[in-house]
């Protein structure tokens, strides 16, 4: 009888002790998450199409830029992250470990057709640090999204300005060589003149649209990534709590104990 009791008690004790050791050595992790939404452009679609700008909801491009080694290293130093790791690991390894604590997920917004929602989260053993880092990372993405759009529109306007000036020089050189248009000029000369004039006129219209688009983008009327839900300080850790882990260990020990008792009771005496 006592032998069967010990067959039940020993697995329970071993499981509880193992659970307590796991709870002691495995750090509790907290996760803070922010939600970002892509607000579509207020710029007329004709302007956007002419500019050929990159879609601002390119998650891979934005996150690669926002979570660069330089930026993450700056966050680590400013917030004093991974102090224990800095005693035995190089900064490159620490930055890579930080990337493992960052989670980014993109999805379509069910409330707004065509809009994108981006969830950015960070895990840490300190709930306040988790919230602060998640907020910092979200700010990086918002800032980069806006700056990228401004750079695209301004760069397009500068390119078109150069094209306008070059076409204008070609047109002036053509008129200097052939004089003003007359009915007596050859068909070939007339066609060349018409092509240059049409090209110059088209570039002027595109340049005007590009300047308007750049001005609107600078005033934040273009595609913008905005923070919909700010990250909060998490109240509960991720996964099972210490109490839950201990209970799981006890239940596992009971199951193993009953199995051992059942098997031993079937053995012939």
Residue 152 domain-assigned?
yes
Among residues 148, 266, 156, the alpha carbon closest in space to that of 209 is found at 156
Domain coverage including residue 147: 22-237
Residue 262 domain-assigned?
no
Strands annotated E in the chain: 30-39, 102-108, 116-124, 224-229
For 124, list phi and psi in degrees, rounded to 5: -155, 160
Q: Which residue has the tokens 């930055």?
A: 95
Among residues 223, 41, 227, 224, the alpha carbon closest in space to that of 119 is found at 227
The pLDDT value recorded for residue 135 is: 95
Q: Model pTM?
A: 0.62
Residue 101 domain-assigned?
yes
Among residues 170, 36, 153, 178, the alpha carbon closest in space to that of 104 is found at 36
Neighbour count for residue 219 (Cβ, 10 Å): 9
Residue 9 domain-assigned?
no
90, 15 in Cβ contact below 8 A? no
Q: Is 207 left (phi over 0), alpha (psi -120 to 50) or beta?
A: alpha
213, 151 in Cβ contact below 8 A? no
The pLDDT value recorded for residue 101 is: 93
Q: Could you list the pLDDT tens digit for every one of the 269 residues in the chain?
A: 445 555 555 555 555 555 554 544 556 789 999 999 877 665 555 554 444 444 444 667 778 888 899 999 999 999 999 998 888 899 999 999 999 999 988 876 656 555 678 899 999 989 999 999 999 999 998 888 877 777 777 888 889 999 999 999 999 998 888 888 887 788 888 888 899 999 999 999 988 888 877 777 666 666 677 888 999 999 888 765 555 555 555 556 555 555 554 555 555 55
Residue 268 domain-assigned?
no
DSSP string, 208-232: HHHHHHHHHHHTT-S-EEEEEE---
The pLDDT value recorded for residue 54 is: 45
Residue 6 domain-assigned?
no
CATH for 110: 3.30.1890
The pLDDT value recorded for residue 156 is: 85
**Alpha helices by DSSP H, 67-126:** 69-79, 91-101
Residue 200 domain-assigned?
yes
Q: What is the dihedral of CA 69, 75, 76, 80, to 10 degrees?
A: 170
Q: Please give the Cα distance from 74 to 79 (Å, whole number).
A: 8
Q: Tokens in use for 264?
A: 């031993």
79, 122 in Cβ contact below 8 A? no
Q: Is 80 left (phi over 0), alpha (psi -120 to 50) or beta?
A: left
DSSP 3-state percent helix, strand, coil across the chain (nearest 5): 65, 10, 25
Counting the structural domains of the chain, the total is 1
Residue 10 domain-assigned?
no
Q: Tokens in use for 212?
A: 């308007």
């Amino acid at each position: 009888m006592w032998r069967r009791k010990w067959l039940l008690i020993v697995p329970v004790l071993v499981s509880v002790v193992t659970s307590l050791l796991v709870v002691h050595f495995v750090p509790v992790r907290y996760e803070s998450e922010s939600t970002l939404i892509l607000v579509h452009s207020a710029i007329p679609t004709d302007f956007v199409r002419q500019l050929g700008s990159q879609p601002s909801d390119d998650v891979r491009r934005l996150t690669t830029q926002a979570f660069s080694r330089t930026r993450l290293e700056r966050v680590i130093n400013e917030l004093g992250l991974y102090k224990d790791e800095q005693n035995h690991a190089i900064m490159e390894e620490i930055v890579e470990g930080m990337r493992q604590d960052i989670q980014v997920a993109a999805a379509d917004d069910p409330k707004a057709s065509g809009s994108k929602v981006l969830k950015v989260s960070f895990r840490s053993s300190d709930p306040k640090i988790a919230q602060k880092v998640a907020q910092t990372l979200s700010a990086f993405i918002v800032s980069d999204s806006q700056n990228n759009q401004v750079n695209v529109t301004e760069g397009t306007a500068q390119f078109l300005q150069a094209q306008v000036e070059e076409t204008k020089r070609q047109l002036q050189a053509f008129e200097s060589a052939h004089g003003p248009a007359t009915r007596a000029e050859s068909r070939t000369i007339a066609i060349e003149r018409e092509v240059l004039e049409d090209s110059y006129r088209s570039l002027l219209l595109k340049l005007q649209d590009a300047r308007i688009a750049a001005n609107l983008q600078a005033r934040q009327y273009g595609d913008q990534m905005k923070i919909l839900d700010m990250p909060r300080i998490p109240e509960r850790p991720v996964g099972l709590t210490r109490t839950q882990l201990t209970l799981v260990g006890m239940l596992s020990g009971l199951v193993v104990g009953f199995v051992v008792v059942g098997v031993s009771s079937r053995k012939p005496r």
